[in-house]
Structure 1
Amino acid sequence: MDRAQRERLTSDSLRFPLDGGPGVVGRCRDLTRQVLDEWYGLSGREGSALKADVLLLVSEVVTNSCLHGGKPVELRLGRTPGRLWVQVTDTSPVRPRAHGPHRAARSSGHGLHLLQRLSDGWGWTPRGTGKAVWFVVSVPE
């Protein structure tokens, strides 16, 4: 991972500035995958499933930021014993909300439902002229 791509806030917290341009969802997934490997080295069936879930959630949060949040400007990853915290900041102050009840047959509109199902918790926080959407998942200690 290129040093210019990340800023180490603490030994357990990283910040990645984003340009919101083409490919930002894939870049965020790649950055998250590299950090998961560095911090946890997830392997085996259980580790692979956890990694897949986290990467799916990152994709959903960043995609929602691109579609509904103006543009993503920052990805932050943090860890505490047994917990991984992911936050995406964007330029829109509008609160994330479901657009009607979840319907599995729809081709889109699953992001918040997936956050509720796969994370241990999620939420959003106003940030100046934008907001931060975050989620937390349990990880091996």
Structure 2
Amino acid sequence: MSTTRPCSPGDRGPEAGDGAASAVSARSVTPVDGVTPVDDASPAPAPVGRQARTLSLAGESGVVPLARDFARQALYAWGWLPAASADRRAAAEDVLLVVSELVTNACLHAEGPDELRISCDNKVLRIEVSDRGAGQPAPRTPHRAGRPGGHGMFIVQRLCLDWGVVRAPGVTGKTVWAELGAPA
């Protein structure tokens, strides 16, 4: 599903000295897997079992870059970055793109995201974005590649193994989730 791309800024590691990203990590990150986000560029071992991280986005500004930085830190902690090959780099970039698309959709169509959760095992990485919106995300049909806007869920559909929406009965809002295959 991924295409090979040249090295991007997302593959250069956590930004050293980026106080904003470090402050957000220390303030609102909940490492469910017991791993604290890393600040160095050394690769971590591959995850054993299911690991998860949660970032609260409710009331934050600049949530798309916050979410991407959070996802990038998780990818480093779980050994997806730094990427040793073009395929691994493309897989990590796909994760960052899907995070951006899901969080952006929550901003545009659902009063903003409440929470980002990323979980991973050795085969699948799952991204979940919770919001208070009532709408139902769907790729625009027919997809018109030449027109601006409306490509988010089409991109998610193309890059992911699967995606969907979960709603809790009697509660306003939803969780949009997407799953990507772990790099080989």
What TM-score, normalized to structure 2?
0.71
Distance 1:123 1:20, change over 3 A: farther
Q: Which residue of 1 aligns with 2:146?
A: 105
**Which one of the candidate residues 17, 22, 28 is aligned to 2:67?**
28
Deviation, 1:5, is 2.2
Amino acid at match of 2:26: R
Distance in 2 separating the partners of 1:26 and 1:109:
20
After the TM superposition, which residues 49-60 of structure 1 pair with which residues of structure 2 at under 5 Å, given as runs? 49-60=90-101
- 1:50-71 deviation per Cα after TM superposition (whole angstroms, max 9, x unaligned): 1111111111110000000111
Check whether the contact 1:75–1:86 (CA below 8 A) recurs between aligned residues.
yes
Distance in 1 separating the partners of 2:53 and 2:136:
24
- Which secondary structure state, in structure 1, belongs to the residue aligned with residue 150 of structure 2? coil
- 1:81-138 deviation per Cα after TM superposition (whole angstroms, max 9, x unaligned): 2110000001112211234421100111001111111000100111421110010001
Q: How many residues in Structure 1 have an aligned counterpart in Structure 2?
A: 141
Which entry has the higher C-alpha Rg, 1 or 2?
2
Check whether the contact 2:91–2:183 (CA below 8 A) recurs between aligned residues.
no
Which structure 1 residue ranges, 4+ long, deviate > 3 Å from structure 2? none
Deviation, 1:20, is 4.7
Runs of 5+ unmatched residues, structure 1: none
Distance in 1 separating the partners of 2:143 and 2:129:
23
- Determine which structure has the larger helix proportion and give its number: 1
Amino acid at match of 2:167: P
Runs of 5+ unmatched residues, structure 2: 1-21, 35-50
- Which secondary structure state, in structure 1, belongs to the residue aligned with residue 167 of structure 2? strand
